[in-house]
């Protein structure tokens, strides 16, 4: 009789207890294996799903007030602050490397001189970056796009400017090599038909943000063509006046759940609601105005101040 009871107990254990234990173990292992999203993934999620309670901060050329523009230190500073996206400029060297440089020449920002396209990477690496006032003495080199993407990986998104001509393909190759295709935002001024001819199916593999300038001949059609053929998740909206058709197009983008990036750098880019206006009239008159009129992202030269303002308003948590 005891043997039968023991046998029955074993059967109950195998058929009822173990399955439940196995399921809970599977659930536990599943929860352990599910990694928390990286900061870069969170930024992309906000970019894809704009809302009224989170405004993306885009730092222009890194935090160049505290480190040389487009430098690794300027980008690291943005990472430390909690900036969402860093805008950088890239150009191609004589020997085919992409380096962070706004100008066609290295004269303004480094101790060297000459066109980027006439210099090899080794030659450019011999130069040292200057600070925002053009003062020499920095120990920092001009970084390559590879170095930038390695630094950014998992931490921040990169907004690529000056990616013109074949540079888009060169940049894409770097992103593939560094595993950061979903960390970078390409942008440009051409209509979608021209972009398709230039880059073909590559456009389906990258995040692309059209620039919408106030002097385009047919702004509604320009936007409609992009929406139909490429469905961008974001547009860079550039309006010199509040009466501009670009500005008038923002409410529809809000309704369509498309991220609107406003550029608060100088007057003609945002109808005067700039970083400077923030200093003169207060943040509500500049950044607050842009947010109230549909901006889900703001590019700034003062990332730390913008972050402080947005966090105080509950718009960057």
Report pLDDT digits (tens) over 183-202: 999 999 999 999 999 999 99
**pLDDT of the residue at 176:** 98
- The predicted structure's pLDDT at residue 166: 67
For residue 274, is pLDDT > 50?
yes
Q: State residue 138's pLDDT score.
A: 81
For residue 262, pLDDT over 70 is answered with yes
Q: For residue 179, is pLDDT > 50?
A: yes
Measured distance CA(41)–CA(36) in Å, rounded: 10
CA distance 219 to 13: 71
- Looking at residue 27, the DSSP 8-state letter turns out to be H
- C-alpha 48: how far from chain center: 12
CA trace torsion 98, 189, 69, 71 (10° rounding): -30
Nearest to 298 by CA among 264, 273, 257: 264
pLDDT at 33: 38
β-bridge pairing 98-100 and 184-188: unpaired
**pLDDT digit string (tens) for 128-170?**
999 888 888 789 999 999 999 999 999 999 999 976 666 899 9
Q: Interior CA angle at 145 toward 68 and 317, to 5°?
A: 70
What tokens appear for 189 in the block?
């001024």
Per-residue pLDDT, 288: 98
Where is pLDDT greater, at 305 or 161?
305
Q: What pLDDT score does 242 carry? A: 95
- pLDDT value for 133: 83
Token duo for residue 103: 């100008």
Judge whether residue 37 has pLDDT over 70: yes
Q: Whole-number mean pLDDT of the chain?
A: 90
Q: What is the pLDDT of residue 150?
A: 98
Q: Which DSSP state fits 317?
A: -
Closest CA to 304 of 90, 93, 63, 75: 63
CA–CA separation, 58 and 306 (whole Å): 10
Q: Is the pTM of this model over 0.75?
A: yes
pLDDT reported for residue 137: 77
Residue 70 pLDDT > 50:
yes
188 three-state secondary structure: strand
Beta strand spans in the chain (E): 56-60, 85-92, 98-100, 157-161, 184-188, 207-212, 234-237, 259-263, 297-300
CA 15, CA 289: separation in Å to the nearest integer?
A: 65
| Each residue's pLDDT tens digit, 201-231 | 999 999 999 999 999 999 999 999 999 999 9
User: What radius of gyration, in Å, describes the C-alpha atoms of the chain?
Assistant: 25
pLDDT at 1: 45
Nearest by Cα to 143 from 78, 62, 206: 62
User: For 83-101, what is the mean pLDDT?
Assistant: 97
């Amino acid at each position: 009789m005891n043997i039968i009871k023991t046998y029955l107990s074993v059967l109950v254990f195998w058929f009822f207890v173990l399955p439940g234990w196995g399921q809970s173990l599977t659930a536990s292992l599943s929860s352990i294996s599910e990694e928390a999203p990286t900061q870069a993934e969170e930024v992309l999620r906000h970019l894809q799903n704009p809302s009224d309670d989170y405004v993306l901060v885009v730092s222009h050329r890194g935090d160049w007030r505290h480190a040389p523009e487009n430098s690794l230190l300027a980008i690291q500073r943005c990472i430390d602050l909690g900036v969402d996206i860093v805008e950088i400029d890239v150009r191609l060297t004589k020997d085919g490397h992409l380096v962070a440089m706004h100008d066609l020449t290295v004269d303004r920002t480094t101790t060297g001189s000459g066109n980027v396209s006439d210099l090899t990477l080794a030659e450019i690496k011999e130069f040292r970056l200057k600070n925002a006032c053009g003062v020499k003495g920095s120990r920092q080199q001009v970084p390559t796009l590879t170095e930038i993407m390695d630094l950014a990986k998992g931490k921040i998104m990169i907004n690529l400017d000056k990616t013109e001509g074949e540079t888009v393909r060169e940049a894409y190759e770097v992103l593939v090599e560094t595993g950061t295709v979903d960390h970078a935002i390409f942008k440009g001024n051409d209509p979608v038909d021209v972009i398709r001819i230039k880059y073909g199916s590559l456009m389906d593999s990258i995040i692309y943000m059209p620039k919408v300038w106030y002097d385009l001949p047919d702004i509604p059609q320009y936007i409609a063509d992009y929406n139909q053929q490429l469905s961008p998740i974001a547009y860079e909206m550039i309006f010199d006046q509040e009466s501009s058709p670009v500005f008038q197009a923002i409410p529809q983008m809000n309704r369509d759940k498309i991220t609107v990036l406003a550029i608060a750098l100088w007057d003609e880019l945002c109808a005067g609601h700039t970083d400077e206006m923030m200093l003169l009239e207060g943040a509500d008159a500049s950044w607050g105005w842009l947010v109230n009129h549909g901006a889900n992202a703001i590019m700034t030269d003062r990332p730390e101040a913008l972050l402080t303002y947005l966090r105080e308003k509950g718009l960057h948590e």
